[in-house]
Structure 1
Amino acid sequence: MSNSPDYSHLLPPSWKPQVTAWLAEDTPSFDYGGFVVGEAPREAHLLGKGKDAAVLAGVPFFTEVFEQLGCEVEWHLKEGETFAPVKHVATVRGKARHILLGERVALNMLARCSGIATKSKRILDIARGYGYKGIIAGTRKTTPGFRLVEKYGMLVGGIDPHRHDLSSMIMLKDNHIWSHGSITAAITSARRVGGFSLLLEVEVQSEAEADEAIAAGADIVMLDNMDGAELVGVAQRLREKWGKERKWLFESSGNITEGNLRERAVNEIDILSTSAVHQSVQHVDFSLKIQKPQ
């Protein structure tokens, strides 16, 4: 069984109205199919299908969909647990039309959240297999309006969700630097308004830019699109140069995939961030089947 913590305790007060909005979007006027099936009490089985083993993620969102419709959900697996298809994952009980009102909304969410958790766990496991001891993180390249679910899936899969939004951490990328004039000037300006409580990360394109960012006080230096010997060399030289004078973390990002993870998963780098865990990720196949009355 999974030892995954209960991440539902992290969810903000705004998450349940989001579920309400999903249901409103899916049935904006008449429920014609619901009229056909009526309100007879029924039981439906949630089946995890697909071809490969998958990680279950999105449990609180799935449950909330059906609770808002007056149904109850009994889970047969714990969130974060890996299952092999075909698996009876949960049972939903309620009025027939209410089960069908929530079916597609709940399945679409669960399929994507579980897909992200599955991919996250796989990349983390591969990196650990290469001996990498640092942090594997997602990115902010999430779907507008669905960020909470996608970040939640990363957590269940065992990786760091990275910053959630522009207010979570100060990140100065190439456009910020070019617009402001220099790395040092941009960091100085950001520190003045961000204060002491926010970490400040700077994206750099070269060793010289990384050196300037460290000198100016960056907490995290992102070595963008560097890999192999260049990545290791830059990290080693700068750590040698600065020694104990400055403390910072190195992050590597840009086109990190399962295929090139070996050359990027080096312990000279503290954080590997990748959108491969949530962009174009394979969804996990689930279905919800109403059982015939006995």
Structure 2
Amino acid sequence: MPITEGAPAHGNPAHLLPASWKRSVGAWLEEDTPSFDYGGFVVGDSPAEARLLAKSSGVLAGVPFFDEVFSQLGCTVEWLVREGDEVGGARDAKQHIATVRGPVRCLLLGERVALNTLARCSGIATKSSSLLAQLRGAGYKNTLAGTRKTTPGFRVVEKYGMIVGGCDPHRQDLSAMTMLKDNHIWACGGSIASAVAAAKAAGGFAVKVEVECQSEAEADVAIEAGADVVMLDNFTPSGVATASKNLKERWGRGKFLIEVSGGLTEANVSEYVCDDVDVISSSSIHQSTQHVDFSLKVIPKGQQ
């Protein structure tokens, strides 16, 4: 069974992917082989099989991307585990989790692109799952989210890994929600109220507005102006507990959400757990992440 308790329960995460994602896979392949495939010339195109091995433990994520790499190269993939499963445990450090079949040169042509994508996506899912479990153990019942600090050109993969790992991916891009940070406020004259009013006018009823706040007083102004979410940015743990309690008591629970962010990692995130915090967001989920180690081994002729 999948170990990611926070992953979507009502459908396949792969069905979230946009129509454009397969073009990205083609671009990755073009980047990796922009000219002649010299190694492919050496091995030829006789039928072959290769085993995908999980060499370190983690949550498997990125199956659609792995499959598409080899699909575009005329190969097939047979999985022995499911996305979201824990693979490569201590008892089976080289667990056979999938078999790839096709022309041998195509197996090798897609090898590194597929492995790199799977390793990165699985690493993010693993970190998401681990951090969520840590917060649940500390009594936190609400949302753990990533951030928009993703790798350009690789955002869909990284956000997908967060989802498989049970973490909220946060806003997808600048169009998904209006987040007014300190630079936005300063750039429009320093007025939080004016900035929120402009954001509401532009986005209408369908686009939420979040305001990054450096103090409880700034949060008060943002809430009064109609912000849907206030971010308590770089607060101390005791500061978060005090400010979030005061804001909910003063303005009422259910009127807005409180997000806490800024320098949160596995080392300190549990200190920020309190009932009045609705969202804890951390870029460590996808920026400081150890990849899950996979390898693809072609089965020698006669042993297939």
- Per the normalisation by structure 2, the TM-score is 0.94
Name 1:70's counterpart in structure 2.
Answer: 74
Structure 2 residue 263 is the aligned partner of structure 1 residue 227: no
* Correspondent of 1:58 among 55, 59, 62: 62
Name 1:33's counterpart in structure 2.
Answer: 39
SS at match of 1:196: helix
Structure 2 residue 6 is the aligned partner of structure 1 residue 2: no
SS at match of 2:220: helix
Q: Is 256-265 or 159-168 further displaced after alignment?
A: 256-265
Structure 2 residue 132 is the aligned partner of structure 1 residue 128: no
Structure 2 residue 255 is the aligned partner of structure 1 residue 251: no
Q: Any conservation in 2 of the 1:2–1:81 contact (CA below 8 Å)?
A: yes
Output aligned runs, 1:1-294, within 5 Å: 1-2=1-2, 5-50=11-56, 53-83=57-87, 84=89, 85-181=93-189, 182-243=191-252, 247-294=255-302
Shift of 1:236: 1.0
Q: Any conservation in 1 of the 2:144–2:168 contact (CA below 8 Å)?
A: yes
Q: Distance in 1 between matches of 2:36 and 2:108?
A: 13
Q: Distance in 2 between matches of 1:238 and 1:18?
A: 44
CA root-mean-square deviation: 1.1
Shift of 1:280: 2.6
Q: Distance in 2 between matches of 1:89 and 1:267?
A: 40
Q: Any conservation in 2 of the 1:57–1:79 contact (CA below 8 Å)?
A: yes
Shift of 1:190: 0.8
- Per-residue Cα deviation, 1:82-136 (whole angstroms, up to 9, x for no partner): 1213211110000100000000000000000000000000000000000100100
Q: Distance in 2 between matches of 1:275 and 1:258?
A: 11
| Structure 1 residues without counterparts, runs of 5 or longer | none
Question: Structure 2: which amino acid aligns with 1:136?
Answer: L
Q: Is 230-239 or 167-176 further displaced after alignment?
A: 230-239
Q: Distance in 1 between matches of 2:43 and 2:226?
A: 64
Q: Distance in 2 between matches of 1:86 and 1:32?
A: 29
Q: Any conservation in 2 of the 1:203–1:221 contact (CA below 8 Å)?
A: yes
SS at match of 2:173: coil
Q: Distance in 2 between matches of 1:241 and 1:58?
A: 44
Q: Distance in 2 between matches of 1:57 and 1:142?
A: 17
| Structure 2 residues without counterparts, runs of 5 or longer | none
Q: Distance in 1 between matches of 2:70 and 2:273?
A: 41
Q: Distance in 1 between matches of 2:186 and 2:71?
A: 50
Question: Structure 1: which amino acid aligns with 2:153?
Answer: G
Q: Distance in 1 between matches of 2:297 and 2:266?
A: 35
Question: Structure 1: which amino acid aligns with 2:210?
Answer: E
Q: Any conservation in 2 of the 1:227–1:263 contact (CA below 8 Å)?
A: no
Q: Distance in 1 between matches of 2:124 and 2:260?
A: 20
Q: Any conservation in 2 of the 1:218–1:248 contact (CA below 8 Å)?
A: yes
Q: Distance in 2 between matches of 1:124 and 1:227?
A: 20
SS at match of 1:283: coil
Shift of 1:227: 2.6
Shift of 1:40: 1.0
- Per-residue Cα deviation, 1:8-38 (whole angstroms, up to 9, x for no partner): 1111110111101100110001000000000
Q: Is 256-265 or 133-142 further displaced after alignment?
A: 256-265
Q: Distance in 2 between matches of 1:116 and 1:221?
A: 26
SS at match of 1:89: strand
